[in-house]
Amino acid sequence: MREAMAAADVGDEQRHEDPTVTALCERVATLLGKEQAIFLPSGTMCNQIALLVHCRPGDEILAAESSHVLTSEGAGAAALAGAFVRALPAYRGVFRATDLHAAIRPSGPKSPRTRLVVVEQTHNQGGGSVWPIDAIREVAASTRAAGLMLHMDGARLLNAEVASGVSARNHALPFDSVWLDLSKGLGCPVGALLAGDRPFIDAAWVWKHRLGGAMRQAGILAAAGLYALDHNVDRLAEDHDNALAFAERAAAIPGVRVDPYPVETNMVFLDVSGTGRSADDIAARLQASGIRIGVEGATRLRAVTHLDVTRADCLRAAEQLAAAVAGTS
């Protein structure tokens, strides 16, 4: 990847003169079945620009209660677009068309305008869970029937493709806008791509400039993305296998519950309330043996597998987790 970056042809990205960025945008637009795509520095900027294009101040956005756009973007919907996110009850981040339907407000001078529905694929806080294609289609049909717009936070859409066997394009089909992250499981240092129809992408370009996301010789970053699409997609299956192997061993440790279980993609959430130890304590013990794990709550931990950890690393992590819980590490 570093060699591909060093060898990239570059130009001024702001002027659409960077051939490598252009090639990556065309490739991702095709991958997602959309007219065009725009290269942005991060996934958060993809979400925020999509909200800015779809919504106007006072609008209401419907999303799962645990969605990234609601919990992890500094209230950007409110701070930037002037819109607010209403939490839908969801199971592993997947909400039902009936709950969506019930949340849509009748139009009138007193009601917020319900404007946008957001689906997160895979759902991070749901345990890296995959939205089944049938659930997507039902929610899309409700959204359309109500005249709302539909946006996919596809940070890990390619993990969903690999886990489900349903193409990213088919997942993305009913959405007005969709993006994927290069800097998660695909292993790039920087970047994400937001896709949609031409008018949407034209409007997104205005916000890219306005927010300072338009770059110069960004081809060195786009080259990493092209490399990742060539080399790092099929191998996501290894990350999923490794997560499962870790989860199976973790679930056998007394007091540790893997939730949800079994794991669907590359994330393993652990409930350690049965161990008598805090998540902080276990994370500190693991850190001392060279293993980093995310603390997600007083007794909740998150392990994520990716291309820099091997099967052997995952098995060692499970052994060290057992030692940390037993207090012998």
Ligand X SMILES: *Cc1c(COP(=O)(O)O)cnc(C)c1O
Q: Binding residues for ligand X, per CB under 6 A?
A: 42-44, 47, 68, 120, 124, 153, 155, 181, 183-184, 192
Q: Rounded to 5 degrees, what are φ and ψ at 249?
A: -70, -40
For residue 136, the minimal CB distance to ligand X (Å) is 15
Query: Least distance (Å) from ligand X to the CB of residue 182?
Result: 8
Q: Which of 273, 295, 285, 278 is nearest to 322 (CA)?
A: 285
Q: Select 41 or 275, whichever has its Cβ closest to ligand X.
A: 41
Upstream peptide bond of 260 is cis (omega within 30 degrees of 0): yes
What does the alpha-carbon distance between residue 249 and residue 251 come to, in Å, rounded to a whole number? 5
Is the CB of 44 or the CB of 142 nearer to ligand X? Answer: 44
Q: Which is nearer to ligand X, 18 or 120 (CB)?
A: 120
Least distance in Å: CB of 81 to ligand X? 16
Q: How far is the CB of 149 from ligand X (least distance, A)?
A: 18
| Residue (of 127, 199, 155) closest to 45 by Cα position | 155
Contact 246, 271 (CB under 8 A): no
Contacts of 34 (CB under 8 A, 6+ apart): 172, 178, 195, 196, 197
Residue number with CB closer to ligand X (10 or 45): 45
Q: How far is the CB of 147 from ligand X (least distance, A)?
A: 26
Sheet with 36-40: list strands edge to edge. Answer: 36-40, 192-196, 177-181, 149-154, 113-120, 59-64, 84-88
Q: How far is the C-alpha of 232 from the C-alpha of 10, rounded, in Å?
A: 23
Which CB sits closer to ligand X, 59 or 181? 181
* Smallest distance from ligand X to CB 73, Å: 7
Tell me how far, at minimum, the Cβ of 69 lies from ligand X, in Å.
Answer: 7
CB 39 within 8 A of CB 222: yes
By Cβ distance, which residue is nearest to ligand X?
43
Nearer to ligand X, 150 or 253 (CB): 150
Q: Are 62 and 118 in contact (CB under 8 A)?
A: yes
| Of 34 and 151, CB closest to ligand X | 151
